[in-house]
Structure 1
Amino acid sequence: MARAGQRRSGGTRADAGAQRRRTPRPAEQGLIPVLAEVARDVDRAVQRPPTKPAVRTKFQVVALLVREERARVMADPELSSGRRTEELKRLDGVATMLAKIAARDTSLLTLLAEDARVSDAARAYKATVMRAGGLEPPEEPEPVAPPTPPPGAENRVVPRSVVARQMANPFLAPDFEAAAARVAKARRLAGWELLEPLFRSFEEAGPGAPACMPLPDPRWVTAPVGRELMPHQAKVVAAVARGHRTFLLADEPGLGKTAQALLAAQAADAYPLLVVVPNVVKTNWAHEAGLWTPQRRATVVHGDGDEVDGFADIVVVNYELLDRHVGWLGDMGFRGMVVDEAHFIKNKSSLRSRHVLSLSERIRERTARPLLMALTGTPLINDIEDFRAIWQFLGWIDDTQPVGALLNALEETGLTPAEPGFYAAARSSVVDMGIVRRRKVDVVADIPARRVADLPVELDGAVGRSIRAAEQALARRLVQRYRAALEARGGVTDGFDPELARRVAAAELKDSSSQTGGENVFTMVRRIGQAKAGLAADYAAQLARNVGKVVFFAKHVDVMDHAEQTFAERGIRYASIRGDQTPKVREKNIAAFVEDPEVSIVVCSLMAAGVGLNLQVASNLVLAELSWTDAEQTQAIDRVHRIGQAEPVTAWRIIAAQTIDSKIAELIDSKSGLAARALDGVVDEDGSPAVDVQLEALVSLLTDALAAEGAI
């Protein structure tokens, strides 16, 4: 990013009065100390709730300028390596302050979103802060006053082109079949609790019972000119052409779910079609629509939707914007809806889930047989009940029971939950509603194998000693909690009580999630990630020198920064994919990695780049930090291990030896069997249940500490 202006001599404060008499030291000059001072002011104000609008404005401005200054420092060719490192370290300090502030008032997190509005007051204050830091703010066009929203409209918007479409076709023809289709003939099962047995039916599946509905012969299905549709993809399109309309498309990542959904909409004539996706892939969806259904117009919703084509056949919107646009989307008359990465809605209490469910409900009310598709390669992350919101989106269940066709199918089994055969029959009934699950190994015979290889590393020096000391302190705190709990219930201390250990770990986990200071399991894992950053970057650099292109995944910005600095110092060209990038910057960086032979490494945010990317130009990736779920790890690996990959894929997982990192890696691997049991008909050899990684990591820490004391 180019400089916004020339630096002035000396530095001032944004709200300062008189100038200090002494000459400022270099560290006190420029924009960063001004940002730090404003952040401290915000911190003090947030500690005296409620947070006032002016304080929120200051918080947003500091966050914006930290982001812009980081980009400027990274791109400034005049800065030496040492100076760049120093500047980035100071910016990280300000960013850490902002993170602590947001932890105190989580409502401030909305101001950090890519699509967050920047008010006129924020723009004016931003200019003030920049001048105080010695920068001349760029000239901005005169703001256009937005129309006054009607009472109760809150932050909802209606794009102009959508209004034009509504005026051109003010009446949506009623579809009386819609109401009839929702009627179920519950008789025999009236009064039975059915949802819990339905979920259990997937946990109790035996070997050889994959969760995939029967699919028809796809030989007559054709792809657009210049595109190739694989047989497993064509089967879903054929099922839609035969009349099936609801799908949980749970194919493993990398098997082309986007193409299947777009061609399914075409086969069902489900236009206009609403597509709800993560922000990082919405532009890619529009691109894919142009490839697979070129005769259909696609439009992408950004911000307030000023550039939306209200007459388009396909409307693509990201989850974060639903709150702003859910009003007109509900009135659009959609005949189909696709939800990509549908595990994003598993928490039914979240705003995004409520909006998705309300939109699907509106569509079912108006259309007898809409096309509803939930796309996710990882539908089960922590629990079988992760199915609940997805099934409700598809109209198979409501809050309390199965509805419509699913309830009718359960009635037709002739069984009740009290009979042993009910579970197998119930599972088949749900699968036949439209669960489609295929594994790469089953449908793409020539796709290369993949493996996860763990690389233990030793954390030496003061950092390693500090982390091990923190882990020991956490273990002692857990032991103290455990012994106090034993005494509180009457002093019974014989033997080890695993259930009490889990309750103690759960209490520690709850405290860790709410506290803003001190050492806990989350801060410790982050410190381990920071300590591994240099070692992971070293290994990625070696791979790049020896085997070619490498994908480097990390969770935290500072780990990514450290890795990029390492690559720059070694003369290795790299691209970067982060959550704060604009779609154009993101696409440019992806193209650089994929197309430029000189760009050896792409440094990816695990959250921002874990979905929607095709990076099969590489066959090696480095996981510098561990996730808390196997699903996140799998999504990252499948950016490389997907259709089009010609080489065996290896994911090199960097593990900090002799720390909780090793236990977390084991627990993540133990969770990978959840989807295999529920969807693929695979039973673990040891029959071990799904685990909560965070909770079980603390239980393990407590158990090991008690064992070391001889208490077990």
Structure 2
Amino acid sequence: RATGWLAALRDRLARPGEDGGGPPVAQPAALAATLRDYQLRGLDWLVRMTSLGLGGCLADDMGLGKTITLIALHLHRQDVPEAAGPTLVVCPTSLMGNWRREIERFAPGTPVRRYHGTARSLDDLADGEFVLTTYGTMRLDAQRLAEAGPWGMVVADEAQHVKNPFSATAKRLRTIGAKARVALSGTPIENNLSELWAILDWTTPGMLGTHDAFRRRYAQAVESGSDPAAAERLSKLVRPFLLRRRKSDPGIAPELPPKTETDRAVALTKEQAGLYEAVVREILAEIAGADGLARRGLIVKLLTGLKQICNHPAQYLKEDRPVVPGRSGKLELLDELLDTILVEGANVLVFTQYVQMARILEAHLTARGVPLQLLHGGTPVARREEMVRRFQDGEAPVFLLSLKAAGTGLNLTRAGHVVHYDRWWNPAVEAQATDRAYRIGQTQPVQVHRLITEGTVEDRIAAMLERKRELADAVLGSGEAALTELTDTELAELVELRGTER
């Protein structure tokens, strides 16, 4: 029977997220936000685990604020001399922009750099700095990253990317030393036992024994159903190292706002960036020599072309049978979002203003085995009603909609998520689409995700809408038309591509 410090450690571990000794951790003074109660409990748990020299996996549902909780943990650890140091965040490419924006927003003044692309560098690393990298870059540069340490903390975001313990990515990640390791995952990894082992054996090495022993002792017994008590034994063993809260948990939903809107920043691929710059160059040259109606027409052509390139090169190039994967930053991010949403058992509306883009998404998602429906202007009324019924009954969790077809009159309250794949530059129209999900009869919080390509015209229009919300309806009520009066210089400034190398 354990006694003394071992018993105290066991008791502190036995109550994850509860008062396991000492007063709960206060929110860091440097955090430019107020954490919700459950986020404070998550921070408290992470602080206790990491201060004991143990790692942990925060596996809350998407939308509960894992990123801000982790930023708070980083800030807290900077005030503890033995824990301080730079934090390395390893995440999918499509989430790097989001991390940078969240850090700048919630921890203003905290240095943050991307370790990615050809000009990547780890020179002059500051103690409280965030370094963001991708799983691909980490795999290539694990030795450089390991030598740049000691890291105060290494974070694996969307940690299911290292679920195969024998993959090169997982093996390289293990070589990077840190005072603390934290995994973040929005998917219920406890349902997949080998995945669970891989993630927890990274955060807290050796805790679950060897992979073979774990398979023999727990996984085979649980998966075959031959030993009903095995699942309970495993649950007790991992409970201290894994904190998962669902939106549906008692006490969580009342803390959530009815609607949360997030701009999700994503970089262009090399192909997109090349096309974007070529179109800007060609059409700005034409605009310089045009005036009147012809000039206005060219500006609309330019803005439409750039929006389509930001969506997917195949849309702009009007390809008949396009190769879809790997060519669009937005599409990669949509895949990440949908994977998490579907594993949660949630339902989602995906809006695009272009029927052609909706068809590209339909083909791509169908090839990935995602159950979906597509509604556009040409869909007959009877068919529309049947599609709405199927969605509301939970038969097809992903609903692709073109803006014009779905702007009004549909009641789609089954959706807990709304994704705007492209922006309409008219806040009233965008709000109207969101309200398909967020309206009377909605009993769950709705998350709105707006996909925005960094450094592009989309990014600047989004900032304009944010800055001038009250003017936006007046100025942009007519969409692209309002921008046709810009001077050549203003236009060039609006559309030039600013460094966003992936």
Q: Structure 1 length normalisation: TM-score?
A: 0.34
Larger Rg: 1
